[in-house]
Chains A and B, each alone.
Chain A
Amino acid sequence: MPTRKIYERPVIKKLEGNMPNKFGMRSAHEPTQSIEGHAVKDLINEFGSPLFVISEKKLRKNYRNARQAFQTRYPKVQFAWSYKTNYLDAVCNIYHQEGSWAEVVSGFEYDKAIRNGVPGSKIIFNGPDKTDSDLRKAITNNSLIHIDHLDELYMLQDIARESKMRPRVAIRVNMDTGVYPMWDRFGFNYENGQAWDALNKIMFSGLMDLVGLHTHIGTFMLSPNAYAVAASKLAHLAQSLLNKYNHEIKYIDIGGGFASKNTLKGSYLPGSDVSPSIHDFAEAIASALMNSDYRPKTPPVLVIESGRALIDDAAWLLGTVLANKRLSDGRRATILDIGVNTLFTAFWYDHLITPAQPITSYTEDTALYGPLCMNIDVVRENVNLPLLNRGDHVVVHHVGAYNMTQWLQFITLRPNVLLIDEEGGKHLIRRAESLDTITSQEIMPAHLAHFDL
């Protein structure tokens, strides 16, 4: 008997006249069979599916590239790692080894940074939710407290007065940078004078050291020019302080929000084509500061809290096809073991997803769904992919930011997270959760401990 040919599912696809596809180009379907020298199949065999894989080499490369982009344009630059973007200890420590401070937005993140060994004076404490005890701890540790609202400012004054300690503070400023929606929920507004008001209150109180000015104008920003506007507005406030109080601030913190190379949902073009490079952002910010009317004796340090742009493309999520289905309207649907529980950013992005095994040239349009028993569990509404069979593996790209902090413990448990070091060595940096992980937090009242069925 002649040897049988390799099987491929039968497909028939309608040809859409002579319309090119959405992007006027053929979608690339190169399979991703290995990551950092390790076969996807082997990684899944060893560590299970789904599995997050992070590249230490890529993390460091991204960081050094960003640092270089800023340092070649501005004399004093300091990065502060945005913990909320990914606060796995191993990831944070890579950034700390590279020289990054910590930027945290809650007591929990603050404690995590301290636990990692970050000196208190190198922790930037942002966010609207700082408790009295958080603030006392931050003051004692000499941390940089970024005041978000007037209630916090008054709370700090009270603590300072009573404890005789001088908090080191900055204010967060929100402003019109020509980008909408404007993030005016956080901090003090520039245009209506709130920010200047708050600065005057701090200076008049004499109870705090005003060391910086901070803004974070939004997230996944595609416009370098918005940062130029933000930087010059902060520089203008700094000059006003110099004029009125002869007071020089030590740093200007421009926040984060630089777009990564992901593709926003509904975006016509892929993010790899439209997202500016870190050099574009650096150029806009540095030249705005250098050309501003701020003329201090010592130029302020430029602090950068970039998160997603430094980490998104340094991590992948590996998964497995559970089933193929046909929806009632004839569309095809593929069910993966990856859902919005593990891939939270599927709510924002049309993630690039590639097969992990050799493919043929036939493709089909399919919806990608996760394993959750919910309608919202959509990984991709409609994507053109080579034919996938049950048991095949897929690779989701650019998943480093916000997934390993916003993932949901719903119905199922969170998977392993693997770090591949610069020599290719594998390190499990977060163990998959077990039933115990969840139940160890639960307490059973005695009268509910038994039942008969």
Chain B
Amino acid sequence: MKIKSNIAISDNGFVFNPVTGESFTANPTGLEIMNQMRRGASAPQIVETLCNMFQVEPTQAERDLQDFIEMMRQYHLLTYDEE
């Protein structure tokens, strides 16, 4: 599970794919997840970080993380080396 290396992510959640020219915005939770992924955190580690930062239960955080990753996949922002 890795974000493509050429994807630019700004501090305020602006995401740009230079290959396709598409841009995206992520909310603070989404931005936190992307930053964690960039640092190489695993899914369980990300869930733990989210639970420490936000008022959320692990089950909810895990479900939302999966959904978020699925969205990034739909937007072709991920490399598929994790499979």
Do the beta carbons of B30 and A12 come within 8 Å of each other? yes
Instruction: Specify the chain B residue showing the minimal Cβ separation from A363.
Output: B27
Residues from chain A with a CB closer than 8 A to the CB of B53 are: 4-5
Q: What per-residue 1/0 map shows which CB atoms of A313-333 lie under 8 Å from chain B? A: 000000000001010001000
A11 at the interface (CB under 8 A from B): yes
A362 at the interface (CB under 8 A from B): yes
Do the beta carbons of B30 and A10 come within 8 Å of each other? yes
- Of A13, A14, A15, A326, the contact of B67 (CB 8 Å cutoff): A326
Do the beta carbons of A13 and B68 come within 8 Å of each other? no
- Of A15, A324, A360, the contact of B25 (CB 8 Å cutoff): A15
Residues from chain B with a CB closer than 8 A to the CB of A15 are: 22-25
- The CA-CA distance from A175 to B67 in the complex, in Å, is 55
B48 at the interface (CB under 8 A from A): no
Q: What per-residue 1/0 map shows which CB atoms of A375-404 lie under 8 Å from chain B? A: 000000000000001000000000000000
Do the beta carbons of A7 and B55 come within 8 Å of each other? yes
Residues from chain A with a CB closer than 8 A to the CB of B25 are: 12-13, 15
Do the beta carbons of A4 and B54 come within 8 Å of each other? yes
- The CA-CA distance from A7 to B65 in the complex, in Å, is 13
Instruction: Specify the chain A residue showing the minimal Cβ separation from B21.
Output: A17
- The CA-CA distance from A256 to B49 in the complex, in Å, is 60
A8 at the interface (CB under 8 A from B): yes
A6 at the interface (CB under 8 A from B): yes
For chain A, what secondary structure do more than half of its interface residues adopt (helix, strand, loop), or is it mixed?
loop
Do the beta carbons of B24 and A6 come within 8 Å of each other? no
Q: What per-residue 1/0 map shows which CB atoms of B49-81 lie under 8 Å from chain A? A: 010111110001100110110111011010000
Given known A-B contacts A9-B29, A12-B26, A13-B25, A330 and B74 have beta carbons under 8 A apart: yes
For chain B, what secondary structure do more than half of its interface residues adopt (helix, strand, loop), or is it mixed?
helix
- Of A5, A14, A324, A362, the contact of B54 (CB 8 Å cutoff): A5
Given known A-B contacts A360-B27, A362-B27, A11 and B56 have beta carbons under 8 A apart: no
Do the beta carbons of B70 and A330 come within 8 Å of each other? yes
- Of A6, A10, A13, A362, the contact of B64 (CB 8 Å cutoff): A10
| Size range of the chain B interface in the assembly | 20 to 34
How near does chain A come to B47, taking the closest CB pair, in angstroms?
11
Residues from chain A with a CB closer than 8 A to the CB of B30 are: 10-12
How near does chain A come to B75, taking the closest CB pair, in angstroms?
6
Do the beta carbons of B71 and A7 come within 8 Å of each other? no
Q: What per-residue 1/0 map shows which CB atoms of A7-32 lie under 8 Å from chain B? A: 11111111100000000000000000
Do the beta carbons of B68 and A12 come within 8 Å of each other? yes
Do the beta carbons of B75 and A6 come within 8 Å of each other? no
How near does chain A come to B83, taking the closest CB pair, in angstroms?
18
B15 at the interface (CB under 8 A from A): yes
Residues from chain B with a CB closer than 8 A to the CB of A5 are: 53-55
Residues from chain B with a CB closer than 8 A to the CB of A14 are: 22-24, 75
Residues from chain B with a CB closer than 8 A to the CB of A10 are: 26-27, 29-30, 32-33, 64-65, 67-68
How near does chain B come to A362, taking the closest CB pair, in angstroms?
4
Residues from chain B with a CB closer than 8 A to the CB of A13 are: 24-26
B40 at the interface (CB under 8 A from A): no
Do the beta carbons of A4 and B74 come within 8 Å of each other? no
Report which B residues bind A (CB closer than 8 A).
Answer: 15, 22-30, 32-33, 50, 52-56, 60-61, 64-65, 67-68, 70-72, 74-75, 77
27 inter-chain pairs at a CB distance below 8 angstroms, sorted by A residue, are A4-B52, A4-B55, A5-B54, A5-B55, A6-B55, A7-B50, A7-B54, A7-B60, A8-B29, A9-B29, A9-B64, A9-B68, A10-B33, A10-B64, A10-B68, A11-B29, A12-B15, A12-B24, A12-B26, A12-B72, A14-B23, A14-B24, A15-B22, A326-B71, A360-B27, A362-B27, A389-B60
Extra 20 A-B pairs, beta carbons < 8 Å, given A12-B75, A330-B74 = A4-B52, A4-B55, A6-B54, A7-B50, A8-B28, A8-B29, A9-B29, A10-B26, A10-B29, A10-B32, A10-B64, A10-B67, A11-B29, A12-B30, A12-B71, A12-B77, A13-B25, A14-B22, A15-B23, A330-B70
